[in-house]
Structure 1
Amino acid sequence: MQTSRQHDGTLVIETLISKKGEWILANVNCTAYCRVNYNPENWQRLLSQLETNPDRIPLMNRAQLIDDAFNLARAKLVNVTLALNSTRFLRKEKAFLPWESAVRNLGYFVLMFDRSEVYGPMQLYLRHQVEELYNFFKNHTDNSTVPENHSLQHNQITAIEVACFSGLLDCIEMATAMFADWMNTNPTNKYGLG
């Protein structure tokens, strides 16, 4: 590996060689405060790994790959398609950090494409991605309980927010039923005092 430091202090790795067809992951477990960009072939290998067996990549790095891809796309250093593709593995992801990274970064695109022809397909994509996560928490949600694990508690909230926002029918029906129940049981609503 050869490194050089640019005049702005950025450390650039000139050469990093992997075995043929294998991916390289830099900043394992995100121990350094930096963005990592890869060549297109390595990005594709990493994204393929995320889709086939994401657990080979540490949890922190799964979140960081999404965050790096979106930030590098906003800086026009990688294609926006690559950033969007970095979220494809989420359909099977249950951990909070990758979802939090994706939701935070996709918020920019949701605002950017609001009221455009891209908005509908984006909601459809999000609905497809979040459905399995929403169903993972369905028993907790339907019974108004939360998981014991703090990280899963946060991800339950994320699942509900994304599922209802994207129009997942189960989520909308659950929210509508819970709101109706609250309206019927809240004494201030019964007497019009609220």
Structure 2
Amino acid sequence: MLLIDAAAKPVPDGEAVPPSTVGVVHTQVRLQKLDFWVRNPDYLAYELMNEYEAAPDVPHLLELAAGILESEEPDLRRFPMLRHRYGAFEELDDALAPLVERGLLRKTQILGRERVVEHIYFLLERGRQVAQSMVTEAPALAWYAERTHLVVDLVDGLGGTQLKNRQYLLRDYADTPWGRHIAPITEQARTRLDALQAAPRS
């Protein structure tokens, strides 16, 4: 719920949506890739370091990566995902069914000749209200609210295929056999962090 709330974009002009829709998430692939970075903090830290190297004048990116890797978060917050044909994958139907049943979310599919071309998720007004009240009612969820927004902001404007391609750049991810859990890269990421922290800044 928190991830969909963070990722949902305003409804585009002319798009047909269910009543009370306040935001839309296009493509299951994008949702899966965002979910992977939420559930795998070491991979997210690695991506933050990629962004830092591309923009070294934005030091808070390195600080964010350090905050993740210098804590127990990569172990405590890790929730493994399987490698599927298009990368990290988790069956979403069971997780989304209660949200649909309670009137928080609607979803639909665009069908092609032989397969589903696109999954679309509609965040309803009640869903946004629940997402916004969750942290107030359960402060332990604050980490998830902050993390989902960090992940979405990091890759704002990128589609599912672009996110998939970025995640495949890491060999540990790309070389995971189909149907196996994607292994952590915590020590690799910490070694890279040490090198970046030790490097002189221009």
TM-score > 0.5 by shorter chain: no
Greater fraction of residues in strand: 2
Question: Higher Cα Rg: structure 1 or 2?
Answer: 1
Instruction: Report which structure shows greater RCO (CA 8 Å, sep ≥6).
Output: 2
Greater fraction of residues in helix: 1
TM-score (norm 2): 0.23
TM-score (norm 1): 0.24
